[in-house]
Amino acid sequence: MFRKSTVIAAAVAALLGGAALPAVAAPSSHSASAQVQAEPSVVDVTASNLEQVLEMSNRRPVVLNFTATWCPPCKQMKPYLQQYNTADKGTWVWARVDADANRAILTKYGVKYLPTLLNIRNGKEAGSRMVGYDGPQALRTWLNNL
């Protein structure tokens, strides 16, 4: 709303021949929420963007989802992760890690089984892991505890 009002006021001033209104910085909470909105809520993680994804965890929870295309439980879990991420309106980042293409990331986090979900906050693993897939309700419960 703040940005819209400023834009409208500047447009009216320009139309009336007056000087444009000076730019006013938005409140910091607005800028922080705008930055979160600008970040994607679903990311495919690679070695080249891992640090960027970890940086995102300073603003909202990141769920590292270690998965593989050949993994049946991973395939079962995927539509529910998508559904819950959409329902939660991107309040957490679904960061998908292809286990076959990103062995170094698996090693870094000590992942031995697929699927594995890790809760990342402030660049570090926080809280419990979810190893395996026990159905949509167990997944929803784990996500609710982020």
Strands of the 116-121 sheet, one edge to the other: 42-45, 93-98, 62-67, 116-121, 124-131
Tokens of 32: 């922080």
Provide the 3-class DSSP secondary structure of residue 22. Answer: coil
Any catalytic annotation for residue 74? yes
Is 78 within 8 Å of 69 (Cβ atoms)? no
In whole angstroms, give the CA distance from residue 27 to residue 91.
20
Query: From the candidates 43, 50, 53, 71, which is the catalytic residue?
Result: 71
Any catalytic annotation for residue 79? no
Query: From the candidates 43, 74, 130, 143, which is the catalytic residue?
Result: 74
Is 29 within 8 Å of 2 (Cβ atoms)? no
CB neighbourhood size of 104 (10 A): 9
Tell me the catalytic residues: 71, 74
